[in-house]
Amino acid sequence: MVKPEAMPREEITTRLRTAGYIADADIAVALQLMDMLGRPLLLEGEAGVGKTEVAKALAAIHGTQLIRLQCYEGLDLSSALYEWNYQGQLLTIRAREGLDAAAVERDIFSERFLLERPLLAAIRRTDRPVLLIDEVDRADEEFEAFLLELLSDFQVSIPELGTIKAASIPRVILTSNNTRELSDALRRRCLYHYVDFPDVERETNILRARIPGISVTLAIQIARMVESVRKQGLRKTPGVAETLDWAAALVGLDVKNLHDDPQAVHDTLRCLLKTREDRSNLTREVAERLIGKVE
């Protein structure tokens, strides 16, 4: 299969911004190489840094479907690849009881009883979807080995139907929160990019793009405040989604400047802090000290 011509990185950055994702230069290069080489892209980083959003934005800029496989411990092929409509098969067997057994068997193991799951759906699409394999580190090593085979050949074997080859090679993004070490084989198969928390400038731009009506001053203050909060040794470091929630809350409360209403700032920090321990440690006094460092 011929790989399509890769989009220039400047165009990728512009289109991602239009889709609501503010990309840095490195992620644009990674997406360009993914298309150029036809390779999966592994995005690794802390939870909440926006790895999943990359896949959503990528599907948007190419005008194609996003097919998502959420990984978890114990994930098996019936959930990830395909399974048969057993209820439909049973009803058909009962309805055709006494008829030619071989004909009934061919019928019940035909396409009309096949239930596609994300991996099979992705390789059967002709319009090259984006396949998001989310939190692959949560799946077990056996599933990872199967995934490696699929990503190498882009074909699967269904005993009753034979080998199904990809109609087109999907754009594949895998994400990992690094809860366990992935195999060297899977890493070699993929391009790699580490997604870190955004710096102040990029998070400011994200806020301005995603929060209607926010001022430049408030966006900068929030980004700087969140940067300070992330350095407090929290049990759960707030991600970009939490920053957006906090900014939306402050705008909704008509806060124009963090210095003007420290009480509102402290009260709404629950948007950032997601554990009792973090909430207890970031007291009103600590919040006021951090506000004081924000220009």
The mean of the pLDDT values for the chain is 91
- Residue 70 sits in a domain whose CATH number is 3.40.50.300
How far apart, in Å, do the first and last CA atoms of the chain sit?
A: 54
Mapped to the 3 state alphabet, what secondary structure does 151-181 carry? HHHCEEEECCCEEEECCCCCEEEEEECCCCC
Domain match, 175 and 48 both: yes
The whole-number average pLDDT for the span 212-240 is 95
Domain match, 127 and 47 both: yes
pLDDT in tens, 237-277: 999 999 999 999 999 999 999 999 899 999 999 999 999 99
The residue from 133, 166, 194 where one domain ends is: 194
| Domain range enclosing 283 | 200-290
The residue from 194, 217, 247 where one domain ends is: 194
Question: From CA 253, how far away is CA 108, in angstroms rounded?
Answer: 59
The whole-number average pLDDT for the span 172-198 is 94
pLDDT in tens, 61-72: 999 999 999 999
Residue 130 predicted with pLDDT over 70: yes
The whole-number average pLDDT for the span 205-230 is 95
Query: What's the pLDDT band for 1 if we cut at 50, 70, 90?
Result: very low
Residue 8 predicted with pLDDT over 90: no
pLDDT at position 2: 44
Residue 111 predicted with pLDDT over 90: no
Q: Percent of the chain having pLDDT more than 70? A: 98
Specify the pTM: 0.87
The whole-number average pLDDT for the span 88-96 is 86
Calculate ∠ Cα 63-30-71, nearest 5°.
70
The whole-number average pLDDT for the span 190-213 is 95
pLDDT in tens, 277-287: 999 999 999 99
86 within domain boundaries? no
Question: From CA 281, how far away is CA 286, in angstroms rounded?
Answer: 8
The whole-number average pLDDT for the span 78-106 is 85
Question: From CA 129, how far away is CA 139, in angstroms rounded?
Answer: 22
Residue 3 predicted with pLDDT over 70: no
122 within domain boundaries? yes
Q: Which residues contact 171 (CB under 8 A, 6 or more apart)?
A: 34, 35, 58, 62, 128, 129, 130, 131
Which amino acid would we find at residue 48?
G
Q: Percent of the chain having pLDDT more than 90? A: 68
CB 241 within 8 A of CB 275: no
